[in-house]
């Protein structure tokens, strides 16, 4: 019986999540499976991968073949590297202590890189929010200044100006001139 480690789709339309399962290669995608190893959510950034690493390692060592997507996930989380080191121990190329030390060093480095990406994304999001707020404030201030200028122009137009007083005196002078004739 050929055994595969693959994804089984769950969730609603356009909001899918996946289960990482060990199944017979002949079974349907969302059908029977031997064991559920974990879950995968591609809609987060970075993608959320929760699984039992020891069981995934066990199935890899017993000959289960991962699909391309699952292989990428297992590689990303270190199961394939751990398998590589264990095969070296089985062949006698390195000792178990050296393999464990190399894997733990790799795991710490990888976790630091993942955490760096998360903090970088959070910082970028905060910077984008600050920039949007600054742009919004600038637009708001420009609108307020335009309203002030418009109000000042209306006030100047409605206020009696010296030219307006002369204009009222000029018709009065014309009226007296006509009366004198």
> What span, in angstroms and rounded, lies between the C-alpha atoms of 67 and 6?
6
Tell me the pLDDT tens digit for each residue of 115-162: 888 888 888 989 999 999 999 999 999 999 999 998 888 888 887 756
Tell me the pLDDT tens digit for each residue of 1-33: 689 999 999 989 989 999 999 999 888 888 888
| Tally of CB atoms within 10 A around 77 | 19
| Tally of CB atoms within 10 A around 174 | 10
Give the burial class of 21: count Cβ atoms within 10 A of its Cβ; 0-12 exposed, 13-18 middle, 19 or more buried. Answer: buried
> Are β-strands 15-24 and 65-66 bridged in parallel, bridged antiparallel, or unpaired?
unpaired
Thinking of the domain 3-94, which architecture would CATH place it in?
A: 2-Layer Sandwich (3.30)
Supply 28's token pair: 């349907």
The backbone region for 161, taken as left when phi is positive above 0, alpha when psi lies in -120 to 50, beta otherwise, is: beta
This prediction has a pTM of 0.64
At 136 the pLDDT is 92
Q: What is the CA radius of gyration of the chain?
A: 38
What are the phi and psi torsion angles at 42 (to 5°)?
-80, -5
Supply 155's token pair: 């006030």
């Amino acid at each position: 019986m050929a055994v595969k480690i693959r994804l089984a789709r769950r969730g609603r339309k356009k909001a899918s999540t996946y289960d990482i399962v060990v199944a017979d290669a002949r079974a349907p995608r969302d059908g029977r499976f031997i064991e559920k190893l974990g879950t995968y959510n591609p809609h987060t950034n970075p993608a959320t991968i929760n699984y039992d690493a020891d069981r995934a390692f066990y199935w890899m060592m017993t000959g289960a073949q991962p699909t391309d997507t699952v292989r990428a996930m297992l590689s990303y989380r270190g199961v394939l590297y751990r398998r590589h080191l264990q095969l070296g121990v089985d062949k006698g190329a390195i000792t178990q202590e050296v393999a464990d030390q190399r894997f733990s060093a790799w795991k710490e480095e990888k976790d630091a890189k993942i955490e760096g990406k998360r903090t970088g994304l959070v910082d970028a999001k905060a910077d984008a929010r600050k920039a949007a707020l600054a742009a919004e404030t600038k637009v708001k201030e420009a609108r307020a200044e335009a309203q002030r200028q418009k109000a000042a122009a209306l006030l100047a137009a409605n206020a009696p100006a010296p030219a307006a007083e002369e204009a009222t005196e000029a018709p009065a002078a014309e009226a007296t001139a006509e009366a004198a004739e």
